[in-house]
Amino acid sequence: MESRWHLLIDSGIPFPPQDRPAGFAIGPSGVFALVFVDAIPETTHLSRIRTKAEEAIAGVTYGRRKYVPHMLEVMLLMEQAVNTGVQERFLAVDPITMRRTLLAQETGLSPKHARYIATELAGRSRRYTLISTDNAPAAEPVSAEGLFATAELHESKRTKILARPFQEWMTFLDDDQLDLVHRNFNGPARLSGPAGTGKTVVALHRMARFAKNNPGPLLFTSFVKTLPGYHRSGFLRLAPLAADRAAFVGLHAWTTRFLKDRDVAFTLNTTAAEDAFSRTWQTARRVVGTIEASPSYWREEIDRVIKGRGITTLDEYKRIDRTGRNRIRLDGARRETVWKQLYQPYRQRLQERDAHDFNDIIAKAIEELDAHPLDEPFGLVVVDEVQDFTLMELRLVHRIAGGRADAPLLLVGDGQQQVYPGGWRLSDAGIPIKGRGAVLRVNYRNRSAVHDYAKRIDASNTVDDLDGEPGFVLRDTEIVLPGGYAAAEPVRRKEVGAKLVEAITGSRVPWSDIAVITMTNREAERYMTVLARAGISVMPLDKYDGSHQDAVKVGTVHRAKGMDFAAVFHTTEIPTKTADQLTDGERDRADLAARQTMVALTRARDYIWVGLIED
């Protein structure tokens, strides 16, 4: 037996039993139900054994949280291992491959947790006899002098402590979270809740549980192109055998790949789209600019409202409720001006260049799926950060999941964390969600100091959470992690770079645990240059996949969505106008900026520093 492992053996007669596991192996790699077989049993028989194994370990608690039963793996012990035919759901090993297979898993189960699970399981049932390496004779202590410096040992201990809560989420969930993992929704469902409440963790567990109990492919997607890759590593810790049938890909990447596979012609050209809008604005600004002078506002009106909602006629445009953008009032005459002076010329210029923007690609995919659904339907489709999708993108993921009233679609998000303009109602997308929604209310990520600072930000919600019900916001969440550090410091604009370097070095937080989160790409590029010149290792946030990297991550709030860090450093402009001095367009932009700032700060668990830029 390996150090830090525990073995529970069924003490019944005869041995091994035929209808349940012969025992459990519990260690740093997780929990394994051991089943002796001469040949691979039928899948239904293996499923019954898995159910018995999960029932045996269900309810093991650690503090206020419970072990997640489907985290265990069923391991078939054979004289000579063979391909199981269901290898994505069950392990098959022999005496030669067993040790290598056991130690290959990476669930992050701490020695304390492994010991606790084994001890509680043995104490709950007389059926099992516990054998533990904890009872083995202790080895003679060897002096570590010359092998490890004291500072390195302290750093290793600190790293484990910092990593603890994120790893526990992979193994232990509270009652509400565990209930949502097992709840049968029978159709499209929605998980919502403020930052740090574990929405995505619950979604990943639902995926893992599905993968271990059902055949078929799975999809995890998001508007944020880097987020699926970031969460793939977490999923593989939950269901390593399902790696080949679980796709983690951004929605735009999935869509372009799908159209290519179906031989649907398209010419995605973002440069041509930007040029088409720029040329259109040069003419339209004389008229449309009198309503709102910001060209970005009107770029978003095309992308997020007109094309993002699939509007094809002026009459449709005049009828819709511009959710999240109603401060700038567009009556019928103004909407006709926008349509004729801005949208139609933009569309015409794209057509002249035979070019498409991303909205065109989404529309083509919907049309193709309506005509020819997927050859192999997904067993489950999970959509993360759904509040940043357009209505057309919502309709697309519903089609990807089958488009039916009982489609296996799980939408995960929080309207208060919306970082793109506009809004919608789920009913507008034609997705039936009533009665299949749940709100998570306990914050497990942010320490109290971080939470107290972030909740003061007045971040509005323009996306309904349960198809019309008001959203549950950050300031109302329950906190479980005490302590933490939060500081804000006025900084002169010309000194921002130097102050940022000073704040990072003074924090004494390892670079691997730090993110510098910005509002713009230009700002991120500038900070990366400043930090690199100061000798601080950096990496772009859009290259980060969640694995350990001994570098400070730097990137925009749009790329940081859904990620977690021990410490976050963020700069923001001190407002030069009071609220009553803002125009309607400026208020919309201020609301969006507030949500973005809240998202940036709630990425941190232990430590935040905010530089308040002033001239």
331 belongs to a structural domain: yes
458 belongs to a structural domain: no
Annotated binding site for ATP: which residue ranges?
193-200
Average pLDDT over residues 79-108: 77
Q: Let me know whether 284 and 401 are in one domain.
A: no
Q: Let me know whether 383 and 257 are in one domain.
A: yes
Q: Let me know whether 43 and 118 are in one domain.
A: yes
362 belongs to a structural domain: no
Q: Burial letters for 569-603: b for 16+ Cβ neighbours within 10 Å, e otherwise?
A: bbbbeeeeeeeeeeeebbebbebbbbbbbbbbbbb
DSSP 304: I
Which of 81, 115, 135 is where one domain is finished? 135
Q: Let me know whether 536 and 608 are in one domain.
A: yes
Choose among 481, 439, 474: nearest CA to 457: 474
Which of 103-112, 446-455, 555-564 shows the lowest mean pLDDT across its residues?
103-112
Which two three-digit tokens encode residue 362? 């989404």
- Per-residue pLDDT band for 160 (boundaries 50, 70, 90) equals very low
Q: Let me know whether 245 and 289 are in one domain.
A: no
Average pLDDT over residues 345-368: 96
Average pLDDT over residues 358-370: 97
In this structure, what CATH number is given to the domain that contains residue 233? 3.40.50.300
Q: Let me know whether 311 and 389 are in one domain.
A: no
**Max mean pLDDT range (50-64, 72-86, 141-155, 527-541):** 527-541
pLDDT tens-digit readout, 573-594 = 888 787 778 887 778 888 888 8
pTM of the model: 0.83
CB atoms within 10 A of CB 371: 8
pLDDT tens-digit readout, 71-87 = 899 999 988 887 766 55
Domain holding 131, by residue range, is 6-135
Note the pLDDT of residue 163.
45
Query: 401 versus 2: which is more confidently predicted?
Result: 401
Q: Let me know whether 556 and 578 are in one domain.
A: yes
401 belongs to a structural domain: yes
396 belongs to a structural domain: yes
pLDDT(339) > 80: yes
Note the pLDDT of residue 144.
38
Could you give the percent of the chain with pLDDT greater than 90?
55
Note the pLDDT of residue 151.
43
Q: Let me know whether 607 and 494 are in one domain.
A: yes
62 exposed, middle or buried (CB, 10 Å; 0-12, 13-18, 19+)? Answer: middle
Annotated binding site: which residue ranges?
193-200
Note the pLDDT of residue 470.
59
pLDDT(155) > 60: no
Only one residue has tokens 């049968």, namely 184
pLDDT, mean over the chain: 87
- Per-residue pLDDT band for 401 (boundaries 50, 70, 90) equals very high
The total number of structural domains that make up the chain? 4
Q: Could you tell me if 449 and 419 are in contact, meaning their C-beta atoms sit under 8 angstroms apart? A: no
Which of 392, 417, 444 is where one domain is finished? 444
The residues pairing with 77 across neighbouring beta strands, listed in sequence order, are 36, 93
Q: Let me know whether 289 and 383 are in one domain.
A: no
361 belongs to a structural domain: no
Average pLDDT over residues 35-58: 90
pLDDT tens-digit readout, 255-291 = 999 999 999 999 999 999 999 999 999 999 999 999 9
Which of 80, 102, 135 is where one domain is finished? 135
Q: Let me know whether 117 and 16 are in one domain.
A: yes
- Per-residue pLDDT band for 399 (boundaries 50, 70, 90) equals very high
Q: Could you tell me if 63 and 96 are in contact, meaning their C-beta atoms sit under 8 angstroms apart? A: no
pLDDT tens-digit readout, 385-394 = 998 999 999 9
pLDDT(45) > 70: yes
- Per-residue pLDDT band for 167 (boundaries 50, 70, 90) equals low
Q: Let me know whether 411 and 498 are in one domain.
A: no
456 belongs to a structural domain: no
Q: Let me know whether 218 and 322 are in one domain.
A: no
Q: What are phi and psi of 202, to 5 degrees?
A: -60, -40
Note the pLDDT of residue 112.
86
160 belongs to a structural domain: no
Average pLDDT over residues 237-252: 91
